[in-house]
Amino acid sequence: MTPGVFVSEKDLVCVDGEPIVNSAPGKVYIMINKPKGVITTASDEYGRTNVIDLVKSKERLFPIGRLDKDTTGVLILTNDGDLADRLTHPRYEKTKRYTALLDRVLSKDDLEAISSGVQLSEGTTAPCAITFPGTNHMMVNIELHEGKNRQIHRMFNSYEYMVRELERVEFAGLTAEGLKPGAWRHLTQAELKLLKGKT
């Protein structure tokens, strides 16, 4: 596992030439490429490594939403409760895109059935987009606008598929491109405006 990269307050950090600046005093917005085997909670009674352990911040941060222990990909950490609500509340319908590796080829009929909505214990999932990124139909792309607990695993399990690997490749328009697993950086002003729905 690659540890997080420490950045001091004196460092000038840019992404694509744009300086990274927090939008309000005391507010912190961080993107991390969550590695496999790290939990998403801010603390753990069993002492397991969590995403907060990978980030060197003086502020008390929490993750926006959760990724399962073995799910990888883009995750936002912050101390801004208003932004967290905006990104997780169903009424805002923020897009989340995933790539999943299944244990067998996904049939056309099952693809249509799962993407139309699956009955779970707390209700039926909203329609989602499922596509194949290539000729290997064990690999699928999923686009969701909601975030039920272990939703992708449970949707495919309902049709007797096992999700072997799962990566969140995009969250609310942001990707972790350029970040190695376990690495992190502060969000840019442009990214923050995108998350808040401002132009």
Residue 45 belongs to a domain: yes
Residue 114 belongs to a domain: yes
**24/57 same-domain check:** yes
Query: Catalytic site residue 44?
Result: no
Backbone angles phi, psi at 54, to 5 degrees: -85, -15
- Rg (Cα) of the chain, in Å, rounded? 17
Expressed as residue numbers, the domain containing 190 is 14-90+173-196
The pLDDT of residue 93 is: 76
pLDDT tens, residue by residue, 50-94: 999 899 788 889 999 889 999 999 999 999 999 998 888 777 778
pLDDT tens, residue by residue, 118-140: 999 989 999 999 999 999 999 99
Residue 18 belongs to a domain: yes
**84/177 same-domain check:** yes
Residue 56 belongs to a domain: yes
Residues 6+ apart with CB under 8 A from 49: 1, 37, 38, 39
**139/116 same-domain check:** yes
Which CATH number do you get for residue 27?
3.30.70.580
Q: Is 42 exposed, middle or buried (0-12, 13-18, 19+ CB in 10 A)?
A: middle
**102/81 same-domain check:** no
The pLDDT of residue 77 is: 95
Q: How confident is the model at residue 12 (pLDDT cuts 50, 70, 90)?
A: low
**165/177 same-domain check:** no
The pLDDT of residue 1 is: 43
Q: Are 33 and 183 in contact (CB under 8 A)?
A: yes
Locate 81 and state its tokens: 């409760």
**47/114 same-domain check:** no
107 pLDDT above the threshold of 60: yes
Residue 2 belongs to a domain: no
Residue 145 belongs to a domain: yes
- What is the number of structural domains in the chain? 2
**70/29 same-domain check:** yes
**122/75 same-domain check:** no
**163/187 same-domain check:** no
Average pLDDT, the chain: 87
**106/45 same-domain check:** no
The pLDDT of residue 6 is: 57
pLDDT tens, residue by residue, 141-173: 999 998 888 999 999 999 999 999 999 999 999
Which CATH number do you get for residue 117?
3.30.2350.10
Residue 5 belongs to a domain: no
pTM over 0.85: no
Residue 3 belongs to a domain: no
Q: Which of these is catalytic: 11, 16, 53, 68?
A: 68
